[in-house]
Structure 1
Amino acid sequence: MLIATLIAAKSLPVDALDHAQSILAAKGAKIGDQKWLAPEKAVDLSLDGITLADARVVFADFMAGVDVFVQNDEHRRKKLLISDMDSTAIADECMDELADYAGFRKESEEITIRAMRGELNFDESLKARTKLLAGLKTSIIEECVRDRIHLTPGVKTLIQTMNANGAHCFLVSGGFLDFAVPVAKEIGFEKAFANTLEFEGDTLTGQVLDPILGPETKKEILQEECNRFGIKLEETITLGDGANDIPMIEAAGLGVAYHAKPRTVSHSDAHISYGDMTAILFAQGYTPDQWVK
C-alpha cells in the first residue's frame, strides 16, 4: 500500500486534504484511509489507483510549508540511518568556520558552494579548502567545535528515537573527524566516519590524509553496514544536502534531501524543504508520544 505523509512545518493549511484529493483525482487516483500522526501537523493518507513514481511527481512541491513523503508501507520504519554532517546533522559548514579563523572564509565558502552543487570534483575541492587551514592550531578546532557548531533542530530526537527502537545510526561526513566525532557523540550516533587532517605537532599542515572519504565512499559505508547487520537496502534511510551525498541517497531505501541543493533534490526519494529533522520520524509513522527527547 502506498502512503503519502503530509508534514507541516507549523500547521497544515485548512485546504491541504482537499488539495491532495484534487491533484490525485486529476491522475485518476484517490485517497483511501487517513490517519493523523499529530493534530493539524502530520497525517498519513493511503493512496489508491496510482504508482509510487507517479504519486511522487504529483506531490512534488505540494504546498508552501508542507513536506510530503510518498512510500510503500512495507519497511517504513527503517533499521539503519546514515546522515551527512555539514548543513544536515548540523546547521553549519565546519570547513568554512575553520577557514574564518584563518582569514579565508569567503574563499572557502565559494569552493564549498560550487562543490555542493556538483560543479567541482569533491576530492580537489576538499584539498583546496584544507590548504586554506594551514598554520591553524589544534586549540582553534576545539574552540570552533565549542562556539560555532549548532545542531540541526530535531536531530537529537530523531537519532535517539531510532536508537531506542533498535536502529543503527551513523554520521558519515566528507568533513573531518575532529568535528564529526564530538558531533556524533552529542547527538547519539553509533559511529562517525570522516576525513583526517594532517598535523605537525599542534599545527595543521593544510593537508588531508588519504584515503579521502568522498561521494562513493559514503555509498560504500551504507552497503558495508547493511552487510554487517544483515539489513536490506530497502530498510535504510540516508540524509544529505549536497552533490556528494547523491550516491548514498540514490542507493538507500529512502533517500532524503534535507534543505538541499536542487541537484540533490532531483536525485532523492523525498525532500525536506520546510520542516526539521522530526519530519523523518513522522515519515516512519512515529507519533510524538513515541519520540525520545
Structure 2
Amino acid sequence: MIIARLIADPETLGDNLALAMEMIEARDWEVAGAGMLEFCTNVLELEVVEGNPAGIRQILDQCFPDSDLLLSTVPFETPRLFVSDMDSTMIGQECIDELADFAGLKDRIAAITERAMQGELDFESALRERVGLLKDLPEDAIRQCLDERIRPMDGARTLVATLKSRGCHTVLVTGGFHSFADPVADLLGFDRVVGNRLGLHDGRLTGDLVGGIVDSSVKKKVLLEETARLGEDVVSLATGDGANDIPMIESATHGIAYRAKPKARAAADGWIDRGDLTAILDLYGIARDDWVFD
C-alpha cells in the first residue's frame, strides 16, 4: 500500500484528483481510497494498491502543481526523530552569503553557494573556498549579521515546538557554522546542533575551519546514529533543500524537500512547495488545536 497525502489548490482539487485517479488506474493500479483527513481537512489522502512510489509521485506531481506532498509505504505516525538542515530550510537565508556581504563579496560567494547546492561543485572544496575569502573579517560581523539578516523560516518554531511536544527528538545539522547555528537552535528549540566551526584569531576570521567538515556524509551519519540510539524502528523525518541534504533525506523514514533544488526534490519522499513549514504538521495529520505556537 502506498499512502499519499497532499495539500493543493482547493478550487482545482476535484478535477485534478479525477485526472490523477484516471492516470493511476490506467497503469492497472487500484485506488483503494481517497478523501480529506478528518482533523486536517485541507489534506487529501490517497491510498493506492500495487503501485510504485516513483510512479505515483510522478503522476501527483503532474496533476497537482504547486502542492505540498508526502508519500509513505507505512502508516503515518508522528516522527520521534526530526533532523533538519538550517540554511534556506529552518531559516530563510544562506548564512555564509549574508556574512560575505559584510566583506563586499556576497555576489561572488553566493554564486559558489548556489552551484554547491545544485550539486555542481564538491561541497568541501566549495566551503573552504568561500571561508577563505572571508579571511580577516571582524568577528563582530557575525553578531551583526545574526541581528540584522538571519530570520526563521515561516512556521519553523511551531513545527519544532509541536514535534517536541509529542516526544520527538530534534537535531539541527548544517554545513554552515556553529556561530550561526547555535543561536538559531536556541531560538527554534532544537535539542542538538551539528555544524562547522570558523577559525578565529584576535577577533577576526582566519579564513580556515576548525575540526572536521559537516558534509552530506556527516548529515546522514547523524541521522543514522540518532535512529540507532532511539531504536531502529523509530519513525524519522529529515528536511533540507540542497544536494548536500540528499543522503540524509534518503535515509529517513520520510524525507521532505523544502522549496528545494531539483536534485534534492527528486530524492525526497515529498516536498513543501506551497505552504510554510507547518504544512509538515498537516501532512502528518496533527490537528491545529494541538499545534504549539511558541
Scaled by the length of structure 1, what TM-score is found? 0.92
Equivalents in 2 of 1:222, 1:90: separation in Å? 20
1:65, distance to aligned residue in structure 2 (A): 2.8
Tell me if the contact between 2:220 and 2:247 (Cα under 8 Å) persists in the aligned partners: yes
Identify the residue that residue 22 of structure 1 maps to in structure 2. 22
Matches for 1:239-254 after TM superposition, within 5 Å = 239-254=239-254
Identify the residue that residue 163 of structure 1 maps to in structure 2. 164
Percent of paired sites with the same residue: 38
1:11, distance to aligned residue in structure 2 (A): 4.2
Give the secondary structure class of the aligned counterpart of 2:260: coil
Identify the residue that residue 284 of structure 1 maps to in structure 2. 284
Spell out, residue by residue over 1:73-120, the C-alpha distance to the aligned partner (whole angstroms, 9 max, x if none).
435321101000001111100000000000100110110011111111
Query: Structure 2 unaligned runs (5+)?
Result: none
Identify the residue that residue 79 of structure 2 maps to in structure 1. 78
Equivalents in 2 of 1:174, 1:181: separation in Å? 13
1:228, distance to aligned residue in structure 2 (A): 2.1
Identify the residue that residue 2 of structure 2 maps to in structure 1. 2
Spell out, residue by residue over 1:34-84, the C-alpha distance to the aligned partner (whole angstroms, 9 max, x if none).
233434x22223334534343223223432232222213435321101000
Matches for 1:58-207 after TM superposition, within 5 Å = 58-74=59-75, 76-207=77-208
Give the secondary structure class of the aligned counterpart of 2:61: coil
Equivalents in 1 of 2:11, 2:284: separation in Å? 18
Q: What one-letter code is carried by the residue in structure 2 that aligns with 1:70? A: L
Equivalents in 2 of 1:19, 1:188: separation in Å? 42
Compared CA separation, residues 12 and 281, structure 1 to 2 (3 A): farther
1:287, distance to aligned residue in structure 2 (A): 2.0
Tell me if the contact between 1:242 and 1:260 (Cα under 8 Å) persists in the aligned partners: yes
Give the secondary structure class of the aligned counterpart of 1:266: helix
Deviates more, 1:133-142 or 1:45-54: 45-54
Give the secondary structure class of the aligned counterpart of 2:6: strand
Equivalents in 2 of 1:53, 1:287: separation in Å? 28
Give the secondary structure class of the aligned counterpart of 1:30: strand
Q: What one-letter code is carried by the residue in structure 2 that aligns with 1:282? A: D
Identify the residue that residue 12 of structure 2 maps to in structure 1. 13
Give the secondary structure class of the aligned counterpart of 2:223: helix
Tell me if the contact between 2:176 and 2:196 (Cα under 8 Å) persists in the aligned partners: yes
Cα RMSD over matched residues? Answer: 1.8
Deviates more, 1:152-161 or 1:51-60: 51-60
Count of matched residue pairs: 290
Give the secondary structure class of the aligned counterpart of 2:214: coil
Query: Structure 1 unaligned runs (5+)?
Result: none
